[in-house]
Amino acid sequence: MQATIKNVDQIPLSNGVSGAEHAAQLLSAPQAHTTLSLEEARVVIRYMSPRFIPAGTLFIREGDAGDNGFMALLIEGDVVVERITVDRNEPSTVRVLGPGSLIGEIGLVDNEPRSASCTSSTDVWCAILTRQGVEAMIQRDPVVAARLLLGVSANIAERLRDTNRQLKLYARLAKTMREELALSSRPPPQRRG
C-alpha cells in the first residue's frame, strides 16, 4: 500500500484529517518553529512527497555525504536521533522526535555530510522536502520559500546556540577538573621541626 502513495494527502491517518492538512497543521504549529501561517504551510506541503519508513530503519546515517539534500517533517511515528561522540564507538541518543518535528534541515541547506543518524523507533510517515523542491518553491512561491528558509535557519541557529551553551558548560567542568587534579597531585607540605 505504501508504494502506491504519491501525494502527502494520501497518507493514511487514523484521525480522519487529510494527510496534507495534518502535515500543514504540524508545519505551522509553534513547536515546528517555522513561523509559517497555516496557508503558507499548505503551500510548502504541495512541494513535499510522502515517505513511509518501517520501524527500526536507519534512514539517515551520520557522516553520509550521499543523498542528503532533503529534510523530513514527521507526520506520524517517532525517530531516535543519535550521534557518535569523540571518545566512543557506540552512538549516544541526542533526542527522540515525534510528529511535527523537522529532521535533516541542515543537509537541506548546506549539502554537507549528515551530522547525526536517525532511526525510526516506530513505523513513521513523513513528508520529504528536497533541495529541488525548495528551488521550485523559490521560483513559484518565493515569499513562502523565504519564510520557510528563515524558519529553518532559526531552528539551526537555536541548535547552534544550545551547542554553544553545552560547550561552555563542558569547558567550565574541564577547568574545574584540571584545578582539582592540580591540587590533588601536589606533594603534601613538609613538616618542620
Q: What is the pLDDT along the chain (193 residues), one digit of tens a residue?
A: 445 777 787 777 766 677 889 999 999 998 888 889 999 999 999 999 999 999 999 998 888 877 778 899 999 999 999 887 655 667 778 888 999 999 988 888 887 888 888 999 999 999 999 999 999 999 999 999 999 999 988 888 887 888 788 888 888 888 888 888 888 877 777 777 6
Half-sphere exposure of 148 (CA within 13 A, CB side): 30
Question: Looking up cell 601536589, which residue turns up?
Answer: 186
Q: How far is CA 51 from the centre of its chain?
A: 16
In this prediction, residue 121 carries a pLDDT of 95
Give whole-number Cα distances, 19 to 6, 15, 54, 66, 178, in Å.
12, 10, 18, 29, 55
Instruction: Determine the residue type at 133.
Output: G
Domains by residue range for the chain, with CATH: 2-184 (2.60.120.10)
In this prediction, residue 23 carries a pLDDT of 92
- CA dist 17 and 71 (Å) reads 23
Question: What angle in degrees, to the nearest 10, is found between the helix axes of 19-28 and 38-45?
Answer: 130
Nearest to 12 by CA among 63, 52, 65: 52
Query: For residue 49, with 0-12 CB atoms within 10 Å meaning exposed, 13-18 middle and 19 or more buried, which class applies?
Result: middle
Phi, psi of 110 (to 5 degrees): -110, -10
In this prediction, residue 87 carries a pLDDT of 58
In this prediction, residue 91 carries a pLDDT of 73
Under 8 Å between Cβ of 48 and 35: no
